[in-house]
Structure 1
């Protein structure tokens, strides 16, 4: 990142999405829409192997081609709201980060989806606080190469980046809505976490641009929610090391050395800075940086006859999920290609702006609701980093910092800014908020979808 002031970085921003397609709408080339007749019915899942009894919602999975010439297709898993709930529930697209991590393995199977995987790696149990209680949710594996998503053109994996990911995800959405036309007019929201701090605002910006400049489906975008998201790289580094010290994970000497030798404001670092940040990383020890007070996985072996509970998150969940999604019968039920599924894929990422704040500001000015939420036990993108980043926007406060409640306990804290931005913390949650605090996550996402702040009284 350059040494320009934060003020100039915001004021000199241009529409990121307009830059994708050229500033002149007449040069815009619409995305390709493939025939979708009959594909919704073909994608319906009869039942997932090992799912519990009493499933009262419909679920779908399959591929949507986003580039016919390259043979590039993205895999999705879609869960509708229970059949006896409102037929007008909104539509959410969920995106995990990485870049290169799966929204099926994390979002659907470990966080906000209707099921989680038992420690036997073979069966599922119900998540009572799944987000499909209040919305219809699409989990998208993106970009191509993540999870079951693929391309027949191997160079696509070498050219993945923020720009191509936003374009492909928009292309997916337009085609998916042709496959599920009953959702074309629904209120639409985008949510995600971590590197989705890039994905979500960039997709929202792309949608807003295309809504103005195309005769294709106008997507009814109402709001975006980003959890523990990477918003500004240099500011996030400052927040990480400040958080280490305030959480008693680093020594005073290390903290002082970092602030003496590291110039986060101008994104410059000396050898001394690297020495002290390396020392800070060493001092932390063997903990889960994504949930600093949680136990780590000490026994990843499968355990027959053991059944999980959504109230007690198992730190070895990743191993159970990976085993489950590699069962041939499971892949067949999901209409997925038979492949070796993994949580994340490494990429030589081709483009990533050092800050996403100008895009976020443009979205706020468009009238779309923006919520930034943060689990307060995360060490990777801590609350401090998020607060430092949002302060750059210099927004006026509409409703000051106060506690919000889930059931009869404080669920976290919230501040509402002018223009429709809210910062929400989730007490007792790490980087993957719905994993650690599913009930509190459902409380705040329900409020977000309704356009109100979380409850301020028990």
Structure 2
């Protein structure tokens, strides 16, 4: 990958730039870890509509946005849910990142998975999450890159972005966050995330290690421990093959589709799952005949040709292989019949006519495909599925409760959103079509990055919900095996606090542990909250699963 370039990307001058923002209030606050800086106090959230009294400290930044690039006027929005434990000043700091790329960690992590609340249907109020991670840690949820959620840039070209700048911006955010909240500078610090965070976290980890090595910040002020990473997109070809095998072995697609796709689709160049994803919302039209055939098949073929043409065909036979691959993909999509690919045993939302509710897949809202449009992406692996939030575990027919809640004026005021005078281009959305993410980066293997991280003294937990069909456990176990690590603790079951088997785990050399989470889908803290909470608690406190 481009890791060497990434390592050199931040100049030592970043430290000086940050120091320019340190005022007397920060110096005073640094003398007492229980106090907050004046900048932090401007970000304080005193209440959230529908939440009742808060039993923890909450901050959200737009009154004093954390700017990561003054020239481009690029700034990232965050929410900090401080620990509600009896001793919050002793609890670790965690930065959580959702994937996409282009999806909000506030809409995902904070309001859908591991945050303190869930919105009720129609976004009327909030209900408490009994397994919120901020009961154990101080958790930061970041909307990254720019144009995701309330993060913005006044330079339109910033919408075209890739892994390198995302890592640089997130690192810059982290440094400035620690300046705003200096009491966290010596806390144990963990990264956490899922999905396309399979790129975000390893790249950011390298950036942090480079900063420590080159004294871009005081080592004592960033006590970096490692990361927790769920169902991560890591090696596109391996993950794609794993997905196809998962679908076949779980009886979702036919043997003909499985072998046909494997034999005729070059998974290193473009990805059959892109074709599945782009037409997820068309399943409801399967029976609607037109003069040109079913709307589903017609639109699938058009889209397939566009994507194949963008890649100049595949294999030695060019057009012949392209047409065969396209045919098998369309056939397999028909066989899948619109199930919830994030959690294959969960029901989907049906409308009054017992048809799949097309809003569940809402292609028109998030059609960019991995954050990219046109040449910036052109068909990135899994990209569309990864940008679509899975259905809630408590109600498959909730249409989009997070977006309803986040677009309420009183909620935006409570979050300090839009109070800086920056004009948002449209409504808040969970996953934005504005980000044009580098297709090259999406297709890049992360194994060379792991080679730099393993053995560095950091600890890494990679975990997989075992009923996720979009980045399933099969591919993850396969790319971990390619790292060539020694097994230090053999495969065994691990149990949650209830005494039930929560999954299985294996510990490798050089700091890597892999764990499965039984009965969990793509968003593990959402679909198996108690098991995810127990796993998180054990990991950040240095205890074995």
Q: Given the two structures, how large is their TM-score scaled by the length of structure 2?
A: 0.74
Structure 2 portions without partners, runs of 5+ = 27-37, 271-313, 316-320, 352-356, 360-391
Indicate how the Cα distance of structure 1 residues 139 and 316 shifts in structure 2: closer, same or farther if over 3 A, else same: farther
Could you say what secondary structure the match of 2:478 adopts?
helix
Residues 433-442 or 259-268, more deviating: 259-268
Partner of 1:167: 168
Measured against aligned partners, the alpha-carbon deviations of 1:205-258 in whole angstroms (never above 9, x if no partner) come to 100011111342432110111111100011111001000011100112222223
Contact 1:174 1:217 (8 Å CA) reproduced: no
Structure 2 residue 516 is matched with structure 1 residue 425: yes
Measured against aligned partners, the alpha-carbon deviations of 1:259-309 in whole angstroms (never above 9, x if no partner) come to 4334557986532334323422331111111111111233689xxxxxxxx
Could you say what secondary structure the match of 1:192 adopts?
strand
Measured against aligned partners, the alpha-carbon deviations of 1:68-112 in whole angstroms (never above 9, x if no partner) come to 121111000100111523521100000000000000001100000
Between the aligned partners of 2:342 and 2:266, the Cα distance in structure 1 is 25
Task: Give the C-alpha shift of residue 316 in structure 1.
Answer: 4.3
Partner of 1:98: 100
Task: Give the C-alpha shift of residue 345 in structure 1.
Answer: 1.2
Structure 2 residue 345 is matched with structure 1 residue 293: yes
Between the aligned partners of 2:544 and 2:350, the Cα distance in structure 1 is 39
Partner of 2:485: 395
Structure 2 residue 73 is matched with structure 1 residue 71: yes
Contact 1:235 1:265 (8 Å CA) reproduced: no
Alignment of 1:51-450 (within 5 A): 51-53=51-53, 55-62=54-61, 63-82=65-84, 84-157=86-159, 159-218=160-219, 219-262=222-265, 264=267, 270-271=321-322, 272-298=324-350, 313-317=394-398, 319-337=400-418, 339=424, 340-346=427-433, 347-350=435-438, 351-352=440-441, 354-406=444-496, 407-450=498-541
Contact 1:52 1:125 (8 Å CA) reproduced: no
Contact 1:110 1:317 (8 Å CA) reproduced: no
Contact 2:78 2:142 (8 Å CA) reproduced: yes
Between the aligned partners of 1:397 and 1:90, the Cα distance in structure 2 is 28
Contact 1:75 1:148 (8 Å CA) reproduced: yes
Partner of 2:44: 44
RMSD (Å) for aligned C-alpha atoms: 2.2
Residues 247-256 or 327-336, more deviating: 247-256
Between the aligned partners of 2:412 and 2:202, the Cα distance in structure 1 is 31
Between the aligned partners of 1:317 and 1:101, the Cα distance in structure 2 is 19
Measured against aligned partners, the alpha-carbon deviations of 1:142-172 in whole angstroms (never above 9, x if no partner) come to 0010001011111111x31111110000000
Indicate how the Cα distance of structure 1 residues 426 and 30 shifts in structure 2: closer, same or farther if over 3 A, else same: same
Structure 1 portions without partners, runs of 5+ = 1-12, 302-310
Between the aligned partners of 1:226 and 1:279, the Cα distance in structure 2 is 33
Q: How many residues align?
A: 427
Indicate how the Cα distance of structure 1 residues 191 and 318 shifts in structure 2: closer, same or farther if over 3 A, else same: farther
Residues 324-333 or 209-218, more deviating: 209-218
Between the aligned partners of 1:20 and 1:312, the Cα distance in structure 2 is 38
Name the one with the larger helix percent. Answer: 2
Task: Give the C-alpha shift of residue 391 in structure 1.
Answer: 1.3
Task: Give the C-alpha shift of residue 402 in structure 1.
Answer: 1.2
Between the aligned partners of 2:130 and 2:428, the Cα distance in structure 1 is 26
Could you say what secondary structure the match of 2:505 adopts?
strand
Indicate how the Cα distance of structure 1 residues 49 and 129 shifts in structure 2: closer, same or farther if over 3 A, else same: same
Q: Given the two structures, how large is their TM-score scaled by the length of structure 1?
A: 0.88
Partner of 1:4: none
Between the aligned partners of 1:96 and 1:266, the Cα distance in structure 2 is 25
Between the aligned partners of 1:411 and 1:193, the Cα distance in structure 2 is 19
